[in-house]
A and B are shown apart, each in its own frame.
Chain A
Amino acid sequence: MDLFLQNIVNGLQWGSFYALIALGYSMVYSILMLFNFAHGDVFMVGSYIGFGVATALLGLAAMSGIPLPGWFILILTIIFTMFITSFVGVFIERVGYRPLRDAPRASAAITGLMIGIILETGNLAILGARRLSFPQLIESTTYQFGGVYVTDKKILIVGVSLGLMFLLHRFIQKSKWGMAMRAMSFDFQAVPLMGISINRIAPLTFAIGSALAAAAGILYGLAYPVLDPYMGILLGWKAFVAAILGGRGSILGAALAGFLLGFIEIFVAWVFPSTLRDVIAYSIILLILTFRPHGFFGQAHSTQLRL
């Protein structure tokens, strides 16, 4: 029983990353009808930017002699990094996707792959192959409830992830921009005739998706403090699986599927030999897709996407 609860906690943390990254895939899909395959690498870039921002803030705090508490630096790091990384997303849209908007689907689809490779190798060229250690901004304290161990880092990661998802939901449902995005996802040919330009909505979507990936990058850095230029590939692929599983273009679906994926991986490794984890985990997902080919919240008609 203890082990079961412990793995729920483990799964919540691991699923948070999939969910946050999957959201970016889903949002871009709902607007442009294609997946941004560079998204996993945007997560990597976000993590590195977070590293830079946190290091700079720590240095600044040490230089000015003001003893800033770690949680305060962490909040600033998250805000600054999300802001900076959103421009990375806008940039990718501008140079990678906009020029190819009328190109054949296949060309536009591989843009992301190419940008991803450029981001990885560019990082390698600038920073070298050395792994970076993400600064530990908050002291990790372990709490014990019965036989279950929870750290404040875990609580923070799950809390911030859920908080950001809630904010995104409010933004899309309540704000004017959110409404424009929803409209665009229903019909990207008619909506521009109403005076909403796709050249504004698409960058906005990329910016929000990248900001979420950046937040995931920082939280990831806190939990797994070893950064390397290729860290985004595998996580990006798996989050992509979550985005499909949730139903293409569905925000709620992407978030739920992200958590589900985390749970499946953790629980499979618990019940079965861990060597077979991915074999079994992804067979389960294949099975789910066989019965629900459009994912949890997806719909058969691609023009009726839900945001």
Chain B
Amino acid sequence: MKSLFKGIVWGLIAVLFFTTNGWGFGRKKVVRVGINAPITGDIPKVGEGTKYAARMWLEDIENAGGIEVGGKKYPVELVIEDNEAKAESAVKANTKMITEDEVLVIVGPQSSKQAVPAGDVANNYETPMITPWSTNPDSTKDRPFVFRGCFLDPFQGPVLANFITEEFGFTKTAVLYDVASDYPKGLAEFFKQSWEKIHGPGSVVAYESFTTKDTDFSSQLSKINKSGAQVLFTPQYYNEVALIVQQAHELGWTGPIVGSDSWGSAETVTLCGKDCYGLFFSSHYAAAGAQGATKEFIERYEKKYGYTPDDVAALTWDSLRLVQTAIENSGKLTGKIKKDRRAVRDALAKIKNFKGITGDMTFTEEGDPIKCAVIVRISDKGEYEFYKSVCPN
């Protein structure tokens, strides 16, 4: 309720801002950036990180007196829409922002569940959209106007298989995943493929699954324990990670447990506690031990909002900076929204070696960045520590 209330308040503020500003500067001269985020719904923490990162970015722009295009400075407005973590609401939010608010570019939605359908809308209306966190290939596939700020699931699979092989020298692995959810299911398959490519068929000694909302994994984990697996891979979300890891330990599992970027939420350690210390997962960035611009961002965010930003906030920040670079590079804003959108899209596609806080990025034809993954170790204090960087070759 609180977050809903907050969402309404921010919506009103955005509307107020929009109308009052309209009188002062004239409608056509303002750059409007749409944010499509899950402010309420299942993953409110993700929406919060998105909103906070966007507000920090806007602050920077305002301090600079606006965004500079072709020697002229334009004020920027954020239009923040709540997608309630639902696919249909994300589509509605995108349609509204494109047709009514006339945004130049959209950042979001975050999860693939919303980004895949919402990307279709943006592409049909020829409005550039960049999803910071969606790792599903379909979000950007055959959509020239849709980009993303992170790597893809098919990349994460081999990264983790290689990492486990090199780091531990293991040859037998077990996988436990949710068969009813697209992200874990897809990633489990990619991981299995790459593992078998390295170690041959039969090297995945246990390939066990469960269904969303299950809480007892004792049967699957007992089986995994006896299978002779040396490591357990489980690409699950934070609430399940806590249960799986604790139950595995209670059933006598002593080997490492490895996860994917869905572990990256700040909630994982809160729910899992000491059981998760010392475990590894692949992610977009690591907060502890960060350097340079990344460190600056983290410190600023911590000071402002009181907690360490997770990967969503960092990726949103990078996406907004990408958008900013593209707008600045577009040469000239004509005020004709369709033309300007196309110019921004072209500028975005041309970006090379962008220095982001989550790594360097260059966009491919599909609008996916070529960037490195980070292997994170959960430290003995429960912090996400940078362990190793793995780049595509």
Q: Which A residues contact B (CB, under 8 angstroms)?
A: 2-3, 6-7, 10, 13-14, 125-126, 128-131, 133, 136, 140, 142, 144, 147, 149, 151, 153-154, 223-226, 228, 230-231, 234, 265-267, 269-270, 273-275, 277-278
Q: Is the CB of B216 within 8 A of A14?
A: yes
B231 to chain A, nearest CB (A): 19
Given contacts A131-B267, A225-B246, A228-B239, contact A266 B44 (CB under 8 A): no
Q: Is the CB of B219 within 8 A of A133?
A: no
Q: Is the CB of A140 within 8 A of B271?
A: no
Q: How far is the CA of A153 from the CA of B246 in the complex (A)?
A: 12
Q: Is the CB of B249 within 8 A of A3?
A: no
Q: How far is the CA of A43 from the CA of B38 in the complex (A)?
A: 29
**Residues 217-273 (chain B) with a chain A CB within 8 angstroms:** 218-220, 222-223, 226, 238-239, 242-243, 246, 249-252, 267, 270-271, 273
Residue among B42, B208, B246 having the largest count of chain A Cβ atoms under 10 Å: B246
Which residues of chain A have C-beta atoms less than 8 A from B218's C-beta?
7, 10, 13-14, 266
B2 within 8 A of A: yes
B162 within 8 A of A: no
Q: How far is the CA of A130 from the CA of B270 in the complex (A)?
A: 11
Q: How far is the CA of A125 from the CA of B40 in the complex (A)?
A: 11
Q: Is the CB of A125 within 8 A of B1?
A: yes
Which residues of chain B have C-beta atoms less than 8 A from A147's C-beta?
226
Given contacts A6-B251, A136-B273, A275-B179, contact A130 B44 (CB under 8 A): yes
A235 to chain B, nearest CB (A): 8
Which residues of chain A have C-beta atoms less than 8 A from B208's C-beta?
274
Q: How far is the CA of A265 from the CA of B218 in the complex (A)?
A: 11
Q: How far is the CA of A223 from the CA of B250 in the complex (A)?
A: 10
Q: Is the CB of A226 within 8 A of B239?
A: yes
Q: Which chain A residue lies CB-closest to B44?
A: A129
Q: Is the CB of A274 within 8 A of B210?
A: yes
Which residues of chain A have C-beta atoms less than 8 A from B249's C-beta?
142
Q: Which chain B residue lies CB-closest to A220?
A: B215
Given contacts A3-B226, A142-B249, A149-B250, contact A278 B1 (CB under 8 A): no
Q: How far is the CA of A267 from the CA of B210 in the complex (A)?
A: 14
B63 within 8 A of A: no
Q: How far is the CA of A231 from the CA of B214 in the complex (A)?
A: 9
Interface residues on B, range: 35 or more
Residue among B40, B41, B42, B220 having the largest count of chain A Cβ atoms under 10 Å: B220
Q: Is the CB of A269 within 8 A of B243?
A: no
Q: Is the CB of A266 within 8 A of B267?
A: no
Q: How far is the CA of A225 from the CA of B238 in the complex (A)?
A: 13
Taking a contact as CB atoms closer than 8 A, the residue among B42, B250, B271 that contacts A129 in the complex is: B42
Q: Which chain A residue lies CB-closest to B179?
A: A275
Which residues of chain B have C-beta atoms less than 8 A from A14's C-beta?
216, 218
Which residues of chain B have C-beta atoms less than 8 A from A226's C-beta?
215, 239, 242-243, 271
Q: Is the CB of B223 within 8 A of A270?
A: yes
B204 to chain A, nearest CB (A): 14
Inter-chain pairs besides A226-B215, A274-B209, 8 sampled, C-beta below 8 Å: A7-B219, A131-B267, A142-B252, A149-B252, A225-B246, A234-B213, A273-B209, A277-B211
Q: How far is the CA of A125 from the CA of B5 in the complex (A)?
A: 11
Q: Is the CB of B2 within 8 A of A128?
A: yes
Q: Is the CB of B222 within 8 A of A131?
A: no
Taking a contact as CB atoms closer than 8 A, the residue among A136, A224, A225, A269 that contacts B219 in the complex is: A269
B57 to chain A, nearest CB (A): 26
Q: Which chain B residue lies CB-closest to A151?
A: B250
B3 within 8 A of A: yes
Q: How far is the CA of A146 from the CA of B271 in the complex (A)?
A: 31
Q: Which chain A residue lies CB-closest to B207?
A: A273
A50 to chain B, nearest CB (A): 16
**Residues 119-173 (chain B) with a chain A CB within 8 angstroms:** none
Q: How far is the CA of A266 from the CA of B247 in the complex (A)?
A: 14
B45 within 8 A of A: yes
Q: Is the CB of A153 within 8 A of B250?
A: yes
Taking a contact as CB atoms closer than 8 A, the residue among B211, B220, B250, B271 that contacts A131 in the complex is: B271
